[in-house]
Structure 1
């Protein structure tokens, strides 16, 4: 999925003008939002059917088969270096950098996922993972900085972008809005499934206001950017709305009305949508022509990488804080640690399925308190987006240039 997203943005950058790119980038956001709407509904349908949840993954194979002819025969070709053969192009790839970067991200995800849940923090397993992650991180920084086994023009990470104030702020602003959006997409349905007893399908349907407002904001920002030419306001508005929405979600408890939650999540969604795709057009507009694809990749790392890390951090907090909250709430009961952890996984756990209403109330209250803490990450993300926007240049870009491909 991430590869298709990256390729779509590369095509847009190659075959559209800088004035057209904002609206086309917004259309990518529309497609993403449509997937977020249909995905949970279809996946939830499989989960409660005899097909089981595995078909939520299997279904991608026939769908990919249907779409593949379009990719093969209808999309235009683009070869920026026609005078260089395939083997020569492969030789220029920063394979060592790619290995270190992929390893670093993979190990970080595993460390965040298993620390405190599968292993105690002071056990050998998580300590080893964090040490290996640190080694990969340091090795990647050194390898990129010194261009080891690559060249400055071909290294995986465009280090020279770190000298640009605007590029750095676009990165942090995009990372923040992406994190804020992802936390809502993941944890709003979880809240409804636990506290309202929703089925997977109904919980997914409750996400519709969030996604629809997000898509609307993405399309609005895509239409306004080439007209206004100024990008700073999008990040300021985005940060303010994400902070307000996250702060309101931080107040949600078991008795909070569904209507109120819809209102809170709409603020977060509109805020995230106002800045989610803006950086792609801005980064391409301010980068040198030779760095066009580097600019797209740079923002991709901010958007997709931060989403992955943000959800992993939130998952780590959910497992660790949730365990402590439920254990404290059930201190007078004799449930094992395994049973308490199972309660964090859903209504089918022995504790929640016991039929004891008092017990269920205690557990659900503890889970709601845990989710309130998760929204602190959203507040922080919104604050980062806001600060990034305030520090950006108050410049107006020229988006009247012609297509480059």
Structure 2
């Protein structure tokens, strides 16, 4: 399904595409046509990298405890999860520029190699510092893989088929997210240890390497030009400021209250630096300082399009909902029900199954029912209702009820989250397709990363206050209470009396439920933006 192209592209040796041999003209001798078997192998490669990206996004959900027990250094534990997202979102804009300047195939392959290097560093990490570095490196490679996959789809599929291919990529990403906690937990509980949660990426890459090297077509007007002249004019200052902005914001969220008091000089300095660098970055992009308007790392031209701006905001809101639920639904069941990795994955099935199903449904029907604003309105309503209901849950809420709420949120996420990739390309000039892709990618990865950073701050701060109040008089220190929020390897969760575990589970469960304000905000954003969009049909042929 979805593995054949409607009209196979013809690609000349420079990567220029045409749709028929006649259009190729006298260059027919230099033309390579993508056969259906070759296109099938290309799709397998695209879906596999999407799967790996989803897998690595959640594989640490159930191995943070074993990693902490092995490497120690609790203050750095949040970077096991946020480091990957930070690496991704901090480099997405840069990759968007690079894909317009460099050969698509080799940049894509280079991203895969970077991802595998990061995985190797994590697997071999001797301490938490190395683990944090490895997660950031893997996130950088993951961003390149994800954007590269979307670029291939934009180049080699017709608009009518593009939404379905995008939905298939999202489906494999969702499958990776689903299996991440299972695979990570299974390795952590086996003799292989948690390190194989990362080494497994190397094995899969080695097996599938021939697909990327042999089957993937080249594309780009600069295929035969040297690399340095093509990248010297990139907006390197903008890329640095962009990465620094996200790094400072996520660092500030991670340490505020959890490690350093809110009123401390360190926290105040972090937030001030975040604000200053953000303003400098915005001014540098607006004035094109040390770059040109065409080469700016952020596609500022997109801000002149009302439709693209609304698509950006809606995608960020939908991504916030999706990423929050993928991370915090497992935590709720882990803390309140004592579930292990495999059981937690089963609890997530209603959410992920409906997310994948609705994404495929959206991809298949969008070309026919292409009043795209309606997709966002319906999506926002479903996700908002489900998120509000999740906000009201407690440890006594029957699991069946929670599954129903998951269905609503999952269906709402899937219906609209990837729609922007198809609509943005239709509404963008042909020569700015990759730039528009980067714009939407920044929204998707940035929305998820910022939502998780803010959610982590709320969880750590509110959770600490709730636990401290609930366990008042039980003799637990502040450090023990902090450790309890890291999972089952704390004395409060693993070695306490049933009464204490019940009190702690209830307090943490209430904290996670209240943190669903993040999901509510994201869903409301999707709904409001959908209502503000033009109620127009777009031609997708």
Tell me if TM exceeds 0.5: yes
Give the Cα–Cα distance (whole angstroms) in 2 for the partners of residues 51 and 101 of structure 1. Answer: 38
Indicate the residue corresponding to 1:120 in structure 2. Answer: 261
Q: Please say if 1:166 is aligned against 2:307.
A: yes
Q: What are the residue-to-residue correspondences of 1:296-335 with 2, within 5 Å?
A: 296-335=437-476
Q: Please say if 1:290 is aligned against 2:442.
A: no
Pairing partner for 1:256 from 393, 397, 400: 397
Q: Please say if 1:277 is aligned against 2:418.
A: yes
TM (normalized to structure 1)?
Answer: 0.96
Q: Please say if 1:374 is aligned against 2:515.
A: yes
Bigger RCO (CA 8 Å, 6+ sep) = 1
The answer to which of 281-290 and 78-87 deviates more is 78-87
Indicate the residue corresponding to 2:203 in structure 1. Answer: 62
Question: Deviations for 1:141-181, whole angstroms, at most 9, x for unmatched residues?
Answer: 11111111211111111112112111111011111111101
Indicate the residue corresponding to 1:339 in structure 2. Answer: 480
Deviation, structure 1 residue 348:
2.7
Deviation, structure 1 residue 68:
2.4
* Alpha-carbon spacing, 1:83–1:68, altered in 2? closer, same or farther (3 Å): closer
Are the counterparts in 2 of residues 171 and 302 from structure 1 also a CA contact under 8 Å? yes
Give the Cα–Cα distance (whole angstroms) in 2 for the partners of residues 225 and 323 of structure 1. Answer: 45
TM (normalized to structure 2)?
Answer: 0.72
Give the Cα–Cα distance (whole angstroms) in 2 for the partners of residues 272 and 211 of structure 1. Answer: 10
Are the counterparts in 2 of residues 44 and 204 from structure 1 also a CA contact under 8 Å? no
Deviation, structure 1 residue 82:
4.7
Indicate the residue corresponding to 2:504 in structure 1. Answer: 363
Indicate the residue corresponding to 2:352 in structure 1. Answer: 211
Give the Cα–Cα distance (whole angstroms) in 2 for the partners of residues 45 and 340 of structure 1. Answer: 27
Q: What are the residue-to-residue correspondences of 1:17-32 with 2, within 5 Å?
A: 17-32=158-173
Question: Deviations for 1:90-113, whole angstroms, at most 9, x for unmatched residues?
Answer: 123211111111111112111111
Indicate the residue corresponding to 1:179 in structure 2. Answer: 320
Indicate the residue corresponding to 1:236 in structure 2. Answer: 377
Deviation, structure 1 residue 384:
0.4
The answer to which of 231-240 and 45-54 deviates more is 45-54
Give the Cα–Cα distance (whole angstroms) in 2 for the partners of residues 254 and 260 of structure 1. Answer: 12
Indicate the residue corresponding to 2:237 in structure 1. Answer: 96
Give the Cα–Cα distance (whole angstroms) in 2 for the partners of residues 126 and 304 of structure 1. Answer: 25
Indicate the residue corresponding to 1:403 in structure 2. Answer: none
SS in 2 for 1:19: helix
Question: Deviations for 1:184-227, whole angstroms, at most 9, x for unmatched residues?
Answer: 11111111111111112221232122111111010011011111
Indicate the residue corresponding to 1:387 in structure 2. Answer: 528
In the alignment, structure 1 segments of 5+ residues that lack a partner are 401-405
The answer to which of 327-336 and 347-356 deviates more is 347-356
SS in 2 for 1:156: coil
Give the Cα–Cα distance (whole angstroms) in 2 for the partners of residues 111 and 62 of structure 1. Answer: 36
Indicate the residue corresponding to 2:94 in structure 1. Answer: none
Q: Which runs of 4+ in 1 moved over 4 A?
A: none
Give the Cα–Cα distance (whole angstroms) in 2 for the partners of residues 347 and 79 of structure 1. Answer: 50
Q: Please say if 1:227 is aligned against 2:368.
A: yes
Give the Cα–Cα distance (whole angstroms) in 1 for the partners of residues 170 and 472 of structure 2. Answer: 46
In the alignment, structure 2 segments of 5+ residues that lack a partner are 1-141
Q: What is the root-mean-square deviation of aligned Cα atoms in Å?
A: 1.3
